[in-house]
C-alpha cells in the first residue's frame, strides 16, 4: 500500500513550478532547460521525468502526447500542464517558503 507523502521534494517543486511557467506547452527538455536556467545547474532529464511521474501520480500535473517526429527517432513528445490541485499546491509551497525565509536575518539581501 502506497503511503501519500505530505510535502513535495525540492526537485518536485522545481519541476512543478517549471511546468506552471511553461503554461501547458512544457515537455521534458523544455522543463529541464527552465530549471537549469533558474538554478544555474545541469539537471538530469531522468530526474525530471521521475519527478513528473510522481507529480502526475499525485494529480498535480496532467499530460498529453504530441506527434512523433523523425528528429526524435519517431517518438512523440509528452506535454505537461498543471492541474487545479497542482496550481494550488505550487501557490501554497511558494507562500510557505516566502513566509519561512522572510523573517530569517541570515537570508536578508539574498533575494533582492
Footprint on this chain of another protein (rule: CB under 8 A): 1-3, 5, 27-29, 42, 44-47, 49-50, 52-53, 65, 68-69, 71-73, 75-78
- Nearer of residues 70 and 103 to another protein, judged by Cβ: 70
70 vs 109, beta carbon nearer another protein: 70
Partners of residue 26 on adjacent β-strands = 80
CB of 57 to another protein, least distance (A): 10
What minimum distance in Å lies between the beta carbon of 94 and another protein? Answer: 23
Q: From the CA atom positions of the chain, what is the Rg in Å?
A: 16
For another protein, the closer CB: 2 or 110 = 2
Element (H, E) at 64: strand 61-69
Supply the minimum distance, in Å, between the C-beta of residue 76 and another protein. Answer: 7
The greatest distance separating any two alpha carbons of the chain, rounded to the nearest whole angstrom, comes to 53
CA 43 to the chain's CA centroid? 12
Cα–Cα distance between 96 and 107 in angstroms, integer?
A: 15
Amino acid at each position: 500500500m502506497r503511503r501519500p507523502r505530505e510535502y513535495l521534494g525540492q526537485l518536485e517543486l522545481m519541476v512543478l513550478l517549471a511546468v506552471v511557467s511553461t503554461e501547458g506547452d512544457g515537455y521534458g527538455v523544455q522543463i529541464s532547460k527552465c530549471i537549469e536556467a533558474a538554478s544555474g545547474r545541469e539537471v538530469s532529464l531522468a530526474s525530471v521525468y521521475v519527478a513528473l511521474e510522481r507529480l502526475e501520480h499525485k494529480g498535480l500535473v496532467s499530460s498529453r502526447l504530441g506527434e512523433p517526429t523523425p528528429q526524435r527517432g519517431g517518438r512523440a513528445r509528452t506535454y505537461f500542464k498543471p492541474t487545479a490541485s497542482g496550481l494550488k499546491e505550487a501557490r501554497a509551497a511558494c507562500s510557505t517558503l516566502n513566509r519561512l525565509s522572510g523573517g530569517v536575518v541570515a537570508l536578508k539581501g539574498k533575494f533582492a
